[in-house]
Amino acid sequence: MLKSLPSAIKDDSATEQLRELRDWLDRHQKECVTTVETWMVRSLPVPTGVIKEVWRDPSWQTALRDAVIVPLDEQGNSQRETAGFLRHGEETRGLGVVTLDGETRWLDPPAITIPHPVLLLELDDFRDFATELHIEQSISQLYRETWPKPAKLEASAKSIDSFSGGTFKQLMHATSRCRTLGYRVSGGYAVTRIWESGRLVEGRFWIGSDAPEVEAETGDLGWVESASNPLTLGEVGPVAFSEGMRMAAAVYAGRFIDEAEAS
Amino acid sequence: MTANLLQAGALLPITQKKDSAGDPVSARVYKHEALGGRVVVKLVADNLAPAEDLSLEYLGFSLAEVRGPVARGRRQAVGFPAWALINDPKNGGYALEVVKEMEKIARVARSKPGNAKDQYEGVAGRLAKTVPHFLPTFFEEAGRGFIESGNNAQAATMFAKARDAERVYNLQVDENRRRDVFLEFALAAAMSAGALEDYARELARVHPPKEAYALFRQVCVQRCQGGLPPWAAMADELRSMAAKAGLDKNAEDESVLDELLDAPALAGAAFGFWKAYEKPLIALAHRSPSARGRLLNLHPWPPREAGSFMDWWLKFMESTGAAEALWAPAGTLPKESEPVGGPALWLGKSSSALNKHNWGRGSVAGLMTVLPKMAARLRSDGQPVDLHGTHVHSTSLDLIDLALELRIPLASPGPGYLGLDTWLSGKRSRPLMMLAADEIYGPRLTQALEAYLGRHHADTLIDIPGLRDMVSKWLGACADRFDKGGVIQLEQQLQEVDKFTSPRTFALNIRARDRIAKASAVRALQRSLHGGLIDELGWPALEQARKKLAPGQQGIQMSESWPFLVVTDGAKAIVVGRDNIVLEHDLRLTGHTWGLPSFIYTGAQLLVSWHSRDGLKAYWSGRPAEVFNPQQPPQPMFYGNSVSASFELDDGGRTAGARAVHAGDTKLPAREQMWTARGSGALSISSSDSESRNTTQLPAARSATRGRDFWMSSARMDTTWISSGAGSCPSRPMGRSDLRVLPGSARERSRARAASRSKRRTASRLPARSAGTTSRWRWCACPATSSPARWDLRGRT
């Protein structure tokens, strides 16, 4: 076996093309996972036909396999009793699903949703079952960090300051952390867009808008509707709340901690 | 509902015939020669399909099958070529022609941005000849590519070119689309400074004044709500457009401000913004309690602002009436106008903002005026004020002194020196009597003063009433050292007295002067000889180890693992115990190394750690083949101004104050000085918790040092290694127990363990950390007053 590619082959244009193809396939795989996660986070209905068609692409399969799905009927109502792990999709039989009872069922509803874990009533049961079956999801659904709304939340407040005051030696450390985590940075905020109960809500976590090499300090986490209108915490839905907190916590976790601060 | 769903990015089933919103989306199946049977499926809107096919063709894919349409999706017309294909399908071919080329350029955008820009311009030149109306979206797409690769300057250039094309070819513009793109690039920080003014001008040129104003106002407001602070000239620009539109200036100002006040980005607004909007803000605030509250809680700091902003801001707070909530009795004002977390927190935030932005050189005049008014409220609230934040050294001593005089409850300062030097060089206004007399700040002031006097002349201090007494005490301590020190210290002390004092200084403490005058070199020499010279002290095991080493240019390095000493010459490491050599280890450093390695000996294993070109490396002597990055180097023997010290715990772990290291650990805790001793041997633990700062005397340490003076009598050993934890060691030849530390006896070791256990107990008695915070109790180190000892083993063969 060769230790490395001979340079004649390494620099050949065909090799270059193959390398590009490989990179593109990686991106395609990530894109599939991101798309499916968007469907989940926003609780969007997905036509069954779409799932059946994309299933032939291994990248889509990887992204979709073992996601917990809930079939929707013609009226768009959830059929919770047939919710289960998506194992297969094909044109004739429809979607192969393993339900919590351990049964494999073939379903062909008009559409399905991939619910956000906050909305999944039997979350614990699904988790137990997933462990039993050694199921590993590509999307972060069952083991997603969720932040239920605390009972004693001040409903009229418009922001949460639990993650404020985290410092980053340079703002770009914060922005690149956001990017790695998959969050868009807009203005001085890390943002996450959530679709919930008929409206588009944006969670915004302040990371600062100075020059990239200047020290930055995190600020409040808030939610806005239609791009700018701030919502009170009472108005924020459970998914938007959870996703906003998840984002802020993840960004905040990367803050600079001065270990040798004492002297 | 369906429109909303589409906007959120949903795919709708194709069967819903009655409602036909959205574009049909098909599953396009592609194949590739190199991938055999594996297919790739993309979900693509039918009207954008040709572009997708071309992009994939560039990579060598060919379309095998189109399935569908399978759903309907949102019409996406933002980018290029999508915009062209949808808005001008007849000429779509021109856009498609350049798709492959764009793919290619995007690939070099990161590595060769200049090159990519030229190529984009080349393509644009071709488009301009036939389809100039494609240029704006084309350049924007190119800009997005640059934003993606982090090159915002090039992205801004592309954005400017898109706008240029609109002007040059006098293109019809969809204002909603342009506004969205404007915000997109502005919020991505990819916009040049003049672009907004250009935009205002362009809007004014194309639209009637009212429309132009409405569009521009929206961009200004959304830009700020999106997180970008308003720029200084924004007010002027908006006002002149509003005037042209014939709108009421005051009403417009107030409505803009009302929308802006919620945006945290406002805290970074230019000073010019506040000055321009001063009057309408006052009017707004007088009417609206919530506006007052929002202003009060904003804590703004304009970029590049000199120290006087805070003074201006506080006056402004008074004229808006917002400051009222800082001193009105609790509960008497509308809740939305109150400072969040109470006036104490507000004051702390304001003071630490000043500390942070001005390094202690900003004017505190404003805060000093507000403080007396707030005093009664702060006293009745009883909530301690943290004046320092993380910047103890930058906090104005005047402010602390005044707060103490007003009996305002204060949180104890965190670690760090008080900023005596900054205060002395600034505009000082108070005699510091309160500070000097305070039981927490007094000692901290002494500490700062001692550090100051080691570098500056004492006469600069004696005119300050609060410091006079402290200088006098310092002179007394000097005299003590003359009386008790050895001959080397005598020389040092003489130099210090000569350099930093004058007869005027000694007028404060005539007794000290007399004692120093009576100091005798003979007696000092006597003390040194009685105490013993360092050369008289033997450590046979260490000398035996020294004989086995063959130091090269880098000499010999020592690492401590009390009661063991690890010495190395770069080839061999020897662990020296009290009576004998405990371990000899032939080093197995792989690859490149910088300097000599350092060590931790614990659980009968040696951790070897060294710096290499690829970062820090380490292995445990038990498994030398497993090299890892320990994240932190082991504490060197002499670290900064102190000697490090660690204990082995009963379970075989070793701690220097932080998490214990056990043999086999692949991650070391951060460097932390546990303690060092100074003069009186007083040690303190302090919490780094930002909310409550407590300084606690450490009983174990106090009993260990028994209040002794830990100053040592040899210049070569004048950093006391108190961590022996055994202050009660019998006197040694040097008259003190200090050198005793190195080869400790088994009894001392067990005492040290007891000390470390009691340390843990002490820690557990300290207030529990509050949930969710990251506070950590740490052992606060006070640097010893003299530089650490350096042993030269090379000279001792």
Nearest CA in chain A to B671: A260
**Chain segment B185-218, per-residue pLDDT in tens:** 888 878 876 888 888 888 888 889 999 999 899 8
- CB neighbours of B520 closer than 8 A, spacing ≥ 6? none
Q: Is the pLDDT of residue B300 over 60?
A: yes
d(CA A64, CA B491): 80
d(CA B326, CA B332): 11
Looking at CA atoms only, how far is residue A44 from chain B in angstroms?
6
Q: Are A63 and B40 in contact (CB under 8 A)?
A: no
Q: Are A94 and A108 in contact (CB under 8 A)?
A: yes
Chain A contact for B376, CB < 8 A?
A: no
Cβ contact (<8 Å) for A209 and B67?
Answer: no
Cβ contact (<8 Å) for B264 and A38?
Answer: no
Of A57, A111, A224, the CB nearest to B41: A57
Cβ contact (<8 Å) for A59 and B40?
Answer: yes
Of B12, B60, B262, the CB nearest to A17: B60
Which of B56, B187, B780 should we substitute to test contact with A (largest number of A Cβ atoms within 10 Å)?
B187
Q: Is the pLDDT of residue B435 over 80?
A: yes
Joined tokens for residue A66: 């073992």
Distances (CA, A) of A241 to A69, A159, B734: 22, 11, 67
ipTM, two decimals, is: 0.87
Q: Which pLDDT value is given to residue B121?
A: 92
Distances (CA, A) of A190 to A176, B260, B295, B530: 11, 19, 24, 69
Joined tokens for residue B454: 């080691």
Cβ contact (<8 Å) for B779 and A262?
Answer: yes
Cβ contact (<8 Å) for A42 and B10?
Answer: yes
Question: Using a CB-CB distance cutoff of 8 angstroms, which residues of chain A are in contact with residue B229?
Answer: 209
Looking at CA atoms only, how far is residue B188 from chain A in angstroms?
6
Distances (CA, A) of B619 to B24, B252, B630, B648: 62, 69, 9, 19
List helix spans (H) across B385-440. 397-405, 420-425, 433-437
Nearest to B568 by CA among B796, B671, B576, B591: B576
β-bridge mates for residue A85, sequence order = A68, A98
| pTM assigned to the model | 0.63
Which of A30, A53, A114, A193 should we substitute to test contact with B (largest number of B Cβ atoms within 10 Å)?
A53
Nearest CA in chain B to A20: B59
Q: Which pLDDT value is given to residue B710?
A: 30
d(CA A203, CA A220): 11
**The residue to which tokens 């609109």 are assigned:** B166
d(CA B601, CA B537): 24
Joined tokens for residue B478: 């000097």
Contact map slice: B 72-111 vs A, CB within 8 A = 107
Of B40, B225, B783, the CB nearest to A57: B40
Chain B contact for A259, CB < 8 A?
A: yes
CB pairs under 8 A between A and B: 144
Nearest CA in chain B to A47: B13
Q: Is the pLDDT of residue B308 over 50?
A: yes
Cβ contact (<8 Å) for B41 and A56?
Answer: yes
d(CA B691, CA B770): 10
The residue count for chain A: 263
Question: Which of the residue ranges B276-285, B311-320, B406-415 would you say has the lowest mean pLDDT?
Answer: B406-415
Phi-psi region of B298 (alpha: psi -120 to 50; beta: other; left: phi over 0): alpha
Q: Is the pLDDT of residue B295 over 90?
A: yes
B737 C-beta neighbours (distance < 10 Å), count:
22
Of B59, B187, B774, the CB nearest to A187: B187
Looking at CA atoms only, how far is residue A154 from chain B in angstroms?
13
Q: Are B482 and B493 in contact (CB under 8 A)?
A: yes
Q: Are B22 and B30 in contact (CB under 8 A)?
A: no
Chain A contact for B5, CB < 8 A?
A: yes
Q: Is the pLDDT of residue B681 over 60?
A: no
Nearest CA in chain A to B104: A20
Nearest to A243 by CA among A141, A165, A166, A130: A141
Range from B80-84, B164-168, B175-179 that averages highest in pLDDT: B164-168
Pseudo-torsion of CA B163, B164, B168, B171, nearest 10°?
A: -10
Q: Which pLDDT value is given to residue A227?
A: 61
Element (H, E) at B445: helix B441-453
Q: Which pLDDT value is given to residue B535?
A: 63
Q: Is the pLDDT of residue B715 over 70?
A: no
**Chain segment B737-773, per-residue pLDDT in tens:** 332 222 233 344 444 444 444 444 333 333 333 333 2
Contact map slice: A 21-80 vs B, CB within 8 A = 21, 24-25, 28, 38, 42, 44-47, 49-50, 53-54, 56-60
Which of B40, B61, B393, B659 should we substitute to test contact with A (largest number of A Cβ atoms within 10 Å)?
B40
Joined tokens for residue A223: 């939610």
Question: Using a CB-CB distance cutoff of 8 angstroms, which residues of chain A are in contact with residue B181?
Answer: none
What's the average model confidence in pLDDT over B39-56? 87
* CA of residue A238 relative to chain centroid, distance: 15
Q: Is the pLDDT of residue A262 over 90?
A: no
Of B264, B670, B690, the CB nearest to A220: B264
A102 C-beta neighbours (distance < 10 Å), count:
10
What's the average model confidence in pLDDT over B437-455? 89
Question: Using a CB-CB distance cutoff of 8 angstroms, which residues of chain B are in contact with residue A230?
Answer: 262
d(CA B514, CA B505): 13
d(CA B317, CA B326): 10
Q: Is the pLDDT of residue B735 over 60?
A: no
Q: Which pLDDT value is given to residue B660?
A: 80
Q: Residue A7, class by beta-carbon neighbours within 10 Å (0-12 exposed, 13-18 middle, 19+ buried)? A: exposed
Contact map slice: B 138-197 vs A, CB within 8 A = 186-189
- The per-residue pLDDT of chain B, averaged, comes to 77
Phi-psi region of B416 (alpha: psi -120 to 50; beta: other; left: phi over 0): left
Of B59, B227, B303, the CB nearest to A20: B59
Contact map slice: B 37-56 vs A, CB within 8 A = 38-41, 43
Nearest CA in chain B to A189: B227
Task: Map residue B623 onto helix, strand or coil.
Answer: strand
Q: Are A62 and A50 in contact (CB under 8 A)?
A: no
Q: Are B221 and B237 in contact (CB under 8 A)?
A: no
d(CA B572, CA B98): 66
